[in-house]
Structure 1
Amino acid sequence: MLEGYRISTKLEEMDLSFIHGFLTESPWAKGISREAVEEAIKHSLCFAVFTDDGEQIGFGRAISDYTTFAFLGDGFIKEEHRGTGLSKWVMQEMTNHPKLQGVRRSLIATVEAHGLYEKFGFKTIAKPEYLIEKWNWQAYKQS
């Protein structure tokens, strides 16, 4: 817990406009529609970070069957609140969440935050040849 902040998993507390606004400008979800964000949130275990005065300043979500697989994604902290330990706290809350205990494999895709995730047991994939992907990199491109 960090003084001045709180984390919630209650969907009704989450500011969908804030989340969509951040994601649609992010490198990994640029152009994503609000409807797609709403659908993704509805089917995920979400973690929202708030200031004590109720402003949402961060987000992360786990996509999981709660048994065999979890993908942690869409994690972010609003720029002016970075460097305070909030990312570590959110990761701690996510990896320690009761629904995610015992999951056989968890994955994260990241370009720049390897150091953060390694603190929570994530490592470069030992056998990358075991994983293949189908990636529609233009899925959010709006015509």
Structure 2
Amino acid sequence: MGDIDISCDRDRIDLAYCYDFVANSYWSRGRTRGEFDRSVDMSIPVGAYCDGRQVGFARVVTDFIAIAYVADVFVDPDYRRRGIAARMLSALHSHPDIARVKRWMLATHDMQPLYRQHGYRDLDDVIMMRLDDAASDCDPLR
């Protein structure tokens, strides 16, 4: 396997590939392709790529100021256990357009250990939150 490239360039996102994975996930059964495409349009996406093809995806829904919600995180089964999800999360956490966001949230039934490594804390069995105290040190949006 080649090197993994992480990118927030939305033009690189393979929407068909991502939809096929997300549509079969436990968290979004019933979501249509049109709904998925719109959700990506209304978010900041990140993709993971290897040898010219997409192997991972995640997105953040945000108001760019107060809150960010991490959604639809996945890595192709053949590429798991290589730190790809962690790298995608880091790319989203450091994205310049959302540097002032302090409160990050997500819901997961099975990946709590990964998110805990990135500063998320359990609010209940499913919801997790990360407070980014450094966000207030960033220049305010004008």
Q: Which AA in structure 2 matches 1:10?
A: D
Q: Is the 8 A contact 2:4 2:49 kept in 1?
A: yes
Count of equivalent residues: 123
**Superposed displacement of residue 109, structure 1:** 0.3
Over the aligned positions, Cα root-mean-square deviation in angstroms equals 1.3
Following the alignment from structure 2 to structure 1, what is the Cα–Cα distance between the partners of residues 81 and 70?
A: 20
Q: Which amino acid in structure 2 is aligned with residue 6 of structure 1?
A: D
In the alignment, structure 1 segments of 5+ residues that lack a partner are 127-143
* TM-score, L = length of structure 1: 0.81
- Unmatched runs of 5 consecutive residues or more in structure 2: 125-142
Percent of aligned pairs sharing the same letter: 25
Q: Report if aligned partners of 2:8, 2:91 keep a CA contact under 8 Å in 1.
A: no
After superposition, give the CA deviation of every residue in 1:96-131 in whole Å (9 maximum; x if it has no partner).
Answer: 2122222131101011111111111110128xxxxx
Tell me the residue number matched to 1:13.
Answer: 12
In the other structure, the counterpart of 1:61 is: 59
Query: Is the counterpart of residue 118 in structure 1 residue 108 in structure 2?
Result: no
Q: For 2:76, which of 51, 62, 78 is the aligned residue?
A: 78
TM-score norm. by structure 2 comes to 0.82
Equivalent position of 1:48 in the other structure: 47
| Structure 2 residue corresponding to 1:104, chosen from 102, 105, 110 | 102
Q: Tell whether the 8 Å contact from 2:48 to 2:56 is kept in structure 1 after alignment.
A: yes
Query: SS of the residue aligned with 1:47?
Result: strand
The secondary structure found in structure 2 opposite 1:121 is: coil
